Amino acid sequence: AIQMTQSPSSLSASVGDRVTITCRASQDIRNDLGWYQQKPGKAPKLLIYATSSLESGVPSRFSGSGSGTDFTLTISSLQPEDFATYYCLQDWNYPRTFGQGTKVEIK
């Protein structure tokens, strides 16, 4: 199974900060990667698919980049509603595998 390694596992940031989360795959997954946001007690929500395609309705401050094994989720200006846990998910093959998550907390 492909291993997805996210970093950092947590971070503290302030409103307005630029935040970057990375995800590394254990093998080449082309651009078959998505990013999901999860708030406490809620279901995950799709933010980005195919590495860099923004899901409909998701604010443009979210962006994704990368290819092959290294991927990045960037929040250009952190907003209060963005404090949550973020997961990457590879959809190159089965079993699908998630990163371990990055918790974004208020500084």
Partner 1 sequence: EVQVVESGGGLVQPGGSLRLSCAASGFTINTYSMNWVRQAPGKGLEWISYITRSSRTIYYADSVKGRFTLSRDNAKNSVYLQMNSLRDEDTAVYYCARDRNEEAFDIWGQGTMVTVSS
**What residues line the site for partner 1 (CB under 8 A)?**
1, 32, 34, 36, 38, 42-46, 49-50, 55, 87, 89, 91, 94-101
Least distance to partner 1, CB of residue 14, Å: 25
- Give the count of beta carbons closer than 10 Å to the beta carbon of residue 97: 18
- Residue 75 or 85 having the CB closest to partner 1: 85
Least distance to partner 1, CB of residue 16, Å: 28
- Residue 17 or 58 having the CB closest to partner 1: 58
In degrees rounded to 5, what are phi and psi of residue 7?
-150, 145
Q: Which residues of 13-28 are buried (b: 16+ CB within 10 A; e: fewer)?
A: beeeeebebbbbbeee
